[in-house]
């Protein structure tokens, strides 16, 4: 081998060893996706999408898109300080009514590319400016209620929020939609698993959170009429080479344009805008035997001034997915509300 060629090869190998992102790209360039019995790329299995890579790039990183290993370790130390243990928080209310670290499973690492943010577009790694009308809508929703409750879409906890009836509880708290169940799928505090099942006419995405199964037709059928709307939208799928592309529209105003991720359940889950005019495009691409790329582009003109795209690298998992049982059979909710009213001195 020529000296210069050998040196270049050695440097390339060194870069691959030092950079998980380059290594993943090299593997994906050489990887051949397995096929189903009917010839489509086979993406089936359980995929783990836990990551501590922040959705938005922390301001201190400026225009930096990828971290060095030392910077990545410093960021992890900041996100997961050494004293974070599975022990009481010191707040009886939080330990009894909420979750301490024992219940959380947001992961312990950044993604293998060591990116500074999950958002890849816009290039600054930040969410676009929110439309003023979206914030006005959130305030108007709250004012419609006779009690000071949080937005119906949010995760509402605490005696400072009084509920007059079950329907005023947040949809996430009622375990109907929300968190990281998607669409779109965003890593969150726990249950960061999904299962993909394929057959010749459908592509099914089952999320462990809220135990939701999204059935995506792949037979070229037309989208639903605009006046037929669903909480998780209406999805249609197609293959673009090795990538499965899902376009989802027809969301309702009961769902937001986007759920901000939650790493610590003591934080309030952020919900942004309305899903009424949301157009979501998701791309699933298998990069390696144990790696799946998930890219989601959110276009919501009523909520964000510009579209944005984020990317999550999922890992193949051999773990079983468990049924998400939350409020099924919870017949005590009415009694809880009645007891709270009596405590407040109300009839």
Report residue 163 as tokens.
Answer: 């509920």
CA distances from 11 to 6, 15, 30, 91, 276 (A): 9, 6, 19, 53, 51
Strand partners, 272: 258
- Model pTM score: 0.80
Residue boundaries of the structural domains of the chain: 1-30, 45-317
The answer to whether the beta carbons of residues 29 and 302 sit under 8 Å apart is no
Radius of gyration of the chain (CA): 22
Q: What pLDDT tens digit does each residue of the chain (347 aa) get?
A: 433 333 333 333 333 434 444 444 544 568 999 999 999 999 999 999 999 999 999 999 999 999 999 999 998 888 876 555 556 666 665 565 556 677 788 888 999 999 999 999 999 999 999 998 887 776 665 555 444 444 434 444 444 455 666 676 667 777 778 788 889 999 988 899 999 999 999 999 999 998 889 999 999 999 999 999 999 999 999 999 999 999 999 999 888 889 888 765 444 447 788 899 999 999 999 999 999 999 999 999 999 999 999 999 999 999 888 888 776 666 776 777 777 778 777 65
The answer to whether the beta carbons of residues 282 and 314 sit under 8 Å apart is no
């Amino acid at each position: 081998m020529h000296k210069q060629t050998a040196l270049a090869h050695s440097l390339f190998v060194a870069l691959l060893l030092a950079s998980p992102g380059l290594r993943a790209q090299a593997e994906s360039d050489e990887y051949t996706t397995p096929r189903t019995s009917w010839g489509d790329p086979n993406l089936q299995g359980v995929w783990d999408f836990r990551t501590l890579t922040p959705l938005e790039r922390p301001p201190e990183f400026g225009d930096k898109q990828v971290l060095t290993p030392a910077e990545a370790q410093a960021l992890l130390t900041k996100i997961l300080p050494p004293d974070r243990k599975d022990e009481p928080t010191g707040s009886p209310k939080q330990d009894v009514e909420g979750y301490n670290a024992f219940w959380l499973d947001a992961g312990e690492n950044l993604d293998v590319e060591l990116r500074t943010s999950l958002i890849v577009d816009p290039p600054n790694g930040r969410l676009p400016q929110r439309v003023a009308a979206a914030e006005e809508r959130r305030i108007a929703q709250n004012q419609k209620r006779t009690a000071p409750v949080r937005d119906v879409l949010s995760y509402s906890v605490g005696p400072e929020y009084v509920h007059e009836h079950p329907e005023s509880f947040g949809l996430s708290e009622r375990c109907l939609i929300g968190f990281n169940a998607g669409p779109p799928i965003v890593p969150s505090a726990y249950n960061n698993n999904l299962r993909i099942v394929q057959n010749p006419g459908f592509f099914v995405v089952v999320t462990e959170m809220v135990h939701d199964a999204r059935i995506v037709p792949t037979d070229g059928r037309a989208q639903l009429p605009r006046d037929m709307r669903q909480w998780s939208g209406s999805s249609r799928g197609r293959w673009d080479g090795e990538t499965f592309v899902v376009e989802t529209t027809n969301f309702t105003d009961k769902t937001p344009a986007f759920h901000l991720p939650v790493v610590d359940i003591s934080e309030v889950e952020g919900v942004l805008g309305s899903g009424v005019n949301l157009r979501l495009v998701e791309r699933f691409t298998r990069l390696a035997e144990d790696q799946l790329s998930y890219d989601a582009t959110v276009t919501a003109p009523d909520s964000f001034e510009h579209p944005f795209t984020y990317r999550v690298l999922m890992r193949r998992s051999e773990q079983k997915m468990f049924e998400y049982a939350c409020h099924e059979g919870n017949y005590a909710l009415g009694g809880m509300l009645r007891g709270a009213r009596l405590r407040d001195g109300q009839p």
